[in-house]
Structure 1
Amino acid sequence: MLDFIRDSLVLYLPLWKKDAATGQTFMSEDAYGHLCTITGASWRIDGRTFNGITNKIVIADAASLQLTGAFTLGCWMLQEIKGLEGLITKAPGVEGQQEWYLIISATGQVLVGWLSSTNPNYLQCFGTLDVSDAAWHHIMVTWNGINTIGSTVIYVDSAVDALSADTKGGTGYTPYDGVANVEIGRYFGSDVYCFDGWIGEVCIYNRALSAQEIQHIYLATKWRYR
């Protein structure tokens, strides 16, 4: 069975497969072959462990990762200690230049958002489920490219997660098209928001996947994390 749908896939990191050591690099397994640099984040059979202090994986900015239209962000993750921590982000430590980000909120919910090039135009959504329970979860978030509330869907383990907040600011919400790196396991360019736990695989698409496609990916990959 095909683990990942390849149509419109711009980044795929099967971290369970990439056993390169810290300080080394590996290439993403997609049509773009992005160079990924490891800091800490030790390998194990079901992914990489992040220590919540300094560990991260960095992918250099590329045109394919500047998501200014519809997109999907996803990963398998297990968070050990509840806290505001980054999963997949393109958000440098400059207020108003966070292009897009998928993180875990301080209370354990999925949080996704992005800013336009004019601060404070933004769109941000919070899930309801607590995913900081020291168990593996499949997180997927889609945005259909329409600049309004109600345009984002959060999935946890292939089921739609009701939004506890769906907020906007200003009038334009197209994600900021900057030159920040993509970081796995870190947010806002700060070690304060490093992820504490395990990440098994990461995917980014430049379109909004359907519920059926997300369920397919979940069913095809969940055996590794159960």
Structure 2
Amino acid sequence: MLLAAPSALAANGLVGAFGFEEASGSAVTDASGTGNSGSISGATRSASGRFGKALTFDGVNDRVTIPDAASLDLTSAMTLEAWVRPTRVDDWRTVLLKERTNGLAYALYAGASSNRPSTEGAGVESRGPSALPLDTWSHLAASYDGAKLRLFVNGTQVASKNSTSGLTTSSGALRIGGNAVWGEYFKGRIDEVRVYNRALTATEIAADLAAPIVDTQPPSAPGTLTRTVEGDDVQLNWGAATDNVGVTSYRVYRNGALYDETPETSYRDIDRPVGSATYKVVAVDAAGLAGPASNTVTATITPDTTAPTVSLPNACNGATIQGFSYAQVAYSDNRGPVTLTVKVDGATIHGPVTKGVSGTELVPWNTRTVADGPHTMVAIARDAAGNETVSAPCQWTVDNVAVGVSLAQPLNNATVGGTVTLSAQPTGDGQPVNGSPVDFVRFRIDGQEIGAAFWAPYETQWDTTTVPDGTHEIAVEVIWSGYFTPLATQTITVNVDN
């Protein structure tokens, strides 16, 4: 786990710090700031570390390699630390080892030939009195101050050996979890590996034991920030920043104040008012550390004086239509959004409805709301700045079928009794219509529906005994295809006498 601020006790002399907090991949990043990053071979990432994540080693051939560097060539002093959760401690089990030809410069083991933890360096070995527990996290540390090599388990010194010979430098790699000299592969999990070029005190080791590795290195500045003004929007793009652990987000500043944050390397500031604004971007890493700002750019939004375009289909002029008709309205604007309104003879039949920058809108029109004859349709487009355009007028000629219906029986003012057949005939332009476009015919007695006929002959039966003797009203309604209310109704009166 990487935190945002370093421990004052642990910062001095840290030349390698590996918390294994990378999200994925084979890279191992060094949080010490010295750049001693490495790579994983075989070991897998685990979410169950001592702090945050860890690496799991199979005890067969898994290891991490940190290339040789001058900062890792320790001479007169050192401290090696790691949290380990071994599943085997028999024989030699490498936690950390700096290789040299046919040997080692310094090392920390979770187990040795006697199954006990051990450290080697300065020509001596210091071995603990008892084995580490299995499947349990233990903190191992080794320190050398030029006179004594000490071994610590869970913050307590458990062994030491005198030596004034100093540490051996080498050109070999630093290995975690195994080595290329003898193998000695670790089995289990390793977390929070630290290497210092000085001997920490017991108090400092205890402080490290209680805290995760911290990231002290902020990201770099993002790559060159550019801006493009597109209408009322400002499009920002920049190059990716780099970081020893990983960049997680970018903070976008507008006019010097934090405005938003994004994981992407681009950002769109939409619907900006007229005027100028400055922008800069700062990268943030997984530890919450912010790097230096990018270059600053200025974006200027100018007033919108361009009116939208809007048009109706050319085919409408002179066209004869009936029933429900549709007009396709095309619109566009340099910025948008566009608000559309469609009118017929000055009366609104559609809208206002807000749309995007450009497109088409299919506008329905029930022509039965107007009289037969010529009618004028226009479309009106208005943008966010108030610029407005009225389309060229479109002339339609409405010629709807005159829908009618007559009650064939009984006759008006007839006297009826018992069960009576009610029979109706729909008409269109005065001619009988049986079937489409008639949907159905509905019959009512005194306003109450008593039946419906969906095909010719359009009839239903009425039991007159369900009403009292006397005068009653019969109504017949025809429902035309595409409509939900009657287009024609006939009403008569009969006298019931049972």
What TM-score comes out, normalization by structure 2 length? Answer: 0.38
Counterpart for residue 48 of structure 1: 55
User: Per-residue CA shift, 1:190-215, capped at 9, x if unaligned?
Assistant: 33x11111001100001111111111
Query: Which amino acid is the alignment partner of residue 175 of structure 1?
Result: L
Separation in 1 of the partners of 2:167 and 2:96? 15
Distance 1:173-1:72 versus aligned 2 partners, 3 A rule: same
Counterpart for residue 224 of structure 1: none
User: Per-residue CA shift, 1:163-222, capped at 9, x if unaligned?
Assistant: 5xx477xxx62222110000000135233x11111001100001111111111122234x
1:9–1:30 Cα contact (<8 Å) kept? yes
Matched, 1:190 2:192: no
Counterpart for residue 153 of structure 2: 156
User: Per-residue CA shift, 1:5-42, capped at 9, x if unaligned?
Assistant: 11110000002x12333xx2232111212121110110
Structure 1 or 2: more helix by fraction: 1
Counterpart for residue 36 of structure 1: 38
Query: Which amino acid is the alignment partner of residue 94 of structure 2?
Result: G
Query: Which amino acid is the alignment partner of residue 146 of structure 2?
Result: G
Q: Structure 2 matches for 1:1-226, cutoff 5 A?
A: 2=6, 5-15=10-20, 17-21=21-25, 24-45=26-47, 46=49, 47-83=54-90, 84-92=92-100, 94=102, 97-103=103-109, 104-114=111-121, 122-146=123-147, 151-163=148-160, 166=161, 173-187=165-179, 189-191=181-183, 193-221=184-212
Distance 1:12-1:63 versus aligned 2 partners, 3 A rule: same
Separation in 2 of the partners of 1:194 and 1:66? 23
Structure 1 or 2: more strand by fraction: 2
Larger Rg: 2
1:2–1:220 Cα contact (<8 Å) kept? no
Higher relative contact order (CA 8 A, sep 6+): 1
Structure 2: segments with no counterpart, 5+ residues? 213-498
User: Per-residue CA shift, 1:139-185, capped at 9, x if unaligned?
Assistant: 11111112xxxx1221111112145xx477xxx62222110000000
Separation in 2 of the partners of 1:167 and 1:2? 32
Separation in 2 of the partners of 1:43 and 1:99? 28
Distance 1:188-1:111 versus aligned 2 partners, 3 A rule: farther
SS in 1 for 2:71: helix
* Percent identity (aligned): 22
Counterpart for residue 119 of structure 1: none
Distance 1:98-1:159 versus aligned 2 partners, 3 A rule: same
Separation in 1 of the partners of 2:131 and 2:28? 32
Where has structure 1 moved over 4 Å in runs of 4 or more?
Answer: 1-4
> What is the Cα deviation at residue 58 of structure 1?
0.2
Query: Which amino acid is the alignment partner of residue 154 of structure 1?
Result: L
Separation in 2 of the partners of 1:143 and 1:194? 24
SS in 2 for 1:199: strand
Separation in 1 of the partners of 2:207 and 2:162? 29
What TM-score comes out, normalization by structure 1 length? Answer: 0.81
1:87–1:187 Cα contact (<8 Å) kept? no
1:72–1:205 Cα contact (<8 Å) kept? yes
Structure 1: segments with no counterpart, 5+ residues? 116-121, 222-226
Separation in 2 of the partners of 1:188 and 1:167? 28
SS in 2 for 1:220: coil
